[in-house]
């Protein structure tokens, strides 16, 4: 087994003071090892703590209990931009700067020598088919094009780990599939470790080396599914019986969790205790 890039041990996250009426236990005793170069999807019903777990890994806040290590370093609630890059659902590009200028800002923040900025940016943009748009501004691009740029920026900073929080959620299905193919190719080419949050069963199966299926809140790991399919992946994988079998397995595992979430939404007094 290859070395762990991310080690999560008994992590729980509570919002508010225990016992308070508005207290919410988002994560409950999560333990997970993510290997170097692995693509792991976090899959679960809305509100189960997928994004919370991603934010713990990224150092955006410190867990209530438990520990998370990234590349052997304890994550203590402070981001580590030298190790981790984020790609979010919403574009985080500065609208008043061109695409190439947005890349320069990211590279400057990471401490990359100025002499390397443009070469790195153009190589990353070329990898996602966006090099001809380097001088454009974000509002001149479609949503799908902006997400390609966000992916390229995550590659450009050359961190070992990429955390992606539903980056394709706002896109139409066809664009999601194309970007999924691109992401699989990038994983094969760069060997990055990727943790990816999604609600899409098909997306999880198509992209993942392992799928972490989470329970309704408070989020726990219900099971982990091995996909065992080499990257890069082609659309032909989706036509294979194994793809349908894995997708159906994910749905069967999540069906009761989704119903539990819906019940908690109808009766908020039963949630977050």
Q: 97 lies in a domain? A: yes
For residue 109, being part of any structural domain is answered with yes
**Residues in the chain where the model's pLDDT stays below 70:** 1-2, 19, 263-273
Integer distance in angstroms from the first to the last C-alpha of the chain? 38
Q: Is residue 110 part of a domain?
A: yes
Q: Which domain holds residue 139?
A: 93-158
Whether 103 is covered by a domain: the verdict is: yes
Residue 83 lies in a domain: no
198-252 pLDDT, tens digit each:
999 999 999 999 999 999 888 899 999 999 999 888 889 999 999 999 999 999 9
Per the domain annotation, does 221 fall within a domain? Answer: no
Number of domains in the chain: 1
164 close to 208: Cβ distance less than 8 angstroms: no
247 in any annotated domain:
no
Q: Which long-range contacts (CB under 8 A, 24 or more apart) does 219-225 make?
A: 219/26, 219/27, 219/28, 219/30, 219/44, 219/48, 219/49, 219/50, 219/52, 219/53, 220/27, 220/28, 220/29, 220/30, 221/30, 221/31, 221/32, 222/44, 222/253, 222/257, 223/253, 225/249, 225/250
- The 10 Å CB-count burial string (b at 16+, else e) for 115-127 is eebeebbbebbeb
Q: Is position 127 within any domain?
A: yes
Backbone angles phi, psi at 80, to 5 degrees: -125, 80
Q: What is the pLDDT of residue 151?
A: 82
Please state whether the predicted TM-score (pTM) of the whole model is above 0.95: no
| Whole-angstrom distance, CA of residue 96 vs CA of residue 93 | 9
- Residue 2 has what pLDDT? 59
């Amino acid at each position: 087994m290859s070395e762990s890039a991310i080690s999560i041990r008994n992590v729980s996250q509570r919002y508010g003071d225990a016992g308070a009426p508005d207290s919410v236990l988002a994560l409950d005793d999560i333990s997970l090892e993510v290997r170097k170069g692995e693509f792991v999807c976090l899959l679960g019903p809305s509100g189960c703590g997928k994004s919370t777990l991603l934010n713990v890994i990224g150092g955006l806040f410190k867990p209530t209990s438990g520990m998370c290590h990234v590349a052997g370093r304890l994550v203590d609630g402070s981001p580590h931009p030298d190790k981790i890059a984020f790609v979010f659902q919403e574009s985080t590009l500065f609208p008043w700067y061109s695409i190439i200028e947005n890349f320069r800002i990211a590279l400057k923040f990471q401490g990359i020598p100025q002499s390397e900025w443009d070469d790195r940016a153009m190589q990353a943009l070329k990898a996602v088919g966006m090099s001809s748009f380097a001088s454009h501004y974000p509002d001149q691009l479609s949503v799908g094009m902006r997400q390609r740029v966000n992916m390229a920026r995550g590659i450009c900073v050359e961190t070992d780990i990429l955390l992606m929080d539903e980056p394709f959620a706002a896109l139409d299905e066809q664009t999601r599939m194309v970007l999924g193919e691109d992401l699989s190719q990038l994983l094969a080419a760069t060997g990055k470790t990727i943790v990816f949050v999604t609600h899409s069963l098909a997306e999880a199966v198509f992209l993942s080396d392992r799928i972490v299926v989470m329970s309704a809140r408070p989020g726990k790991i219900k099971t982990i599914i091995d996909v065992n399919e080499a990257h890069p992946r082609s659309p032909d994988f989706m036509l294979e019986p194994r793809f349908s079998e894995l997708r159906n397995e994910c749905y069967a595992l999540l069906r009761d969790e989704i119903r539990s979430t819906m019940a908690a939404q109808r009766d908020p007094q039963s949630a977050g205790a």
